[in-house]
Structure 1
């Protein structure tokens, strides 16, 4: 029997897949918008802002939580280790977009470059890294719990930085609520 969606998101790989789906959706939305004549640059900028936020959060959670746990477990598997992506090119493209005006003729090309960079990486992660993580038997449920706690802490920190009153920790829709497990 297939587990319910709410239960599957406890798994680290399912959380990353959900991130990837959001990123793909935003890339498709932007791609559709850039082909529409008379599309406002404000709308393009809004989508790119959401895309860059999603990419930055995903890169940060991979680097700070996922990779440190996964890297040692993969051992000498060169193909899987190579799928642990260096996010530096992504950060450079995001920084370039932050500095650009959405009306700049090179803006669309930079977003396309960003998409090409990310989509290739997503496919490699799903085809190689995720498979190897399952093969080595890593406790992805416990890792997923740790990732969910990290996400909530980031959300609280973001609220604090903008001076908003802190609400009780409520995860984003689709993320697990109960995170009592920890990694050894």
Structure 2
């Protein structure tokens, strides 16, 4: 029996962002235990990269994905919850972004941000994405293109 591969859609794009950031959080955790020379600067740089990726991701969700879902779904409790989670994450991102050295508090903030993101990703993956894919009025394949274009603009990447 052949498996039919689902066409890449908005949820696929958002989930690939989730996976990329998860890898960065894991890399950060590995640096936390390191005593190597220059590790503090590596942690600082990686944490700022994580924050930038998350900021861009949250922006495309808030500008494109969530409003489309809000219009298509009857039950929008999940969206309200996601927006509150984004606000909490943005607060931590701002705190991390304003710190100039990777110390104990810096590590703790990055760890908690990772935990917030893990929780948020699970809810999107297990609850929001299935509802989005079930909503017939959403063209998630076309939305993927819109999300990608906006993401590239925010990242400063030229569209090929």
TM-score, length of structure 2 as denominator length: 0.86
Do the aligned partners of 1:101 and 1:107 also contact (CA within 8 Å) in 2? no
Give CA-to-partner distance per residue, 1:114-149, whole Å, 9 cap, x none. 111111000011111001111222221111121122
Q: Within 5 A, what are the aligned runs for 1:1-184?
A: 1-3=3-5, 8=8, 11-38=9-36, 40-76=39-75, 78=77, 80-86=78-84, 87-137=86-136, 138-155=138-155, 158=156, 169-170=159-160
Structure 2 residue ranges without an equivalent (≥5): none
Deviations 1:14-61 (A, max 9, x none): 000010011100001101111122361111012111101110010000
Gaps of 5+ in 1: 160-167, 171-184
Distance 2:146 2:42 in 1: 35
The higher-RCO structure (CA 8 Å, 6+ apart) is: 2
Q: Give aligned pairs, total.
A: 155
Judging changes above 3 Å, is the alpha-carbon distance between structure 1 residues 66 and 32 closer, same or farther for their aligned structure 2 residues? Answer: same
Higher helix share: 2
| C-alpha RMSD of matched pairs (Å) | 2.0
Query: Alpha-carbon deviation of 1:83?
Result: 4.9
TM-score, structure 1 as length reference: 0.76
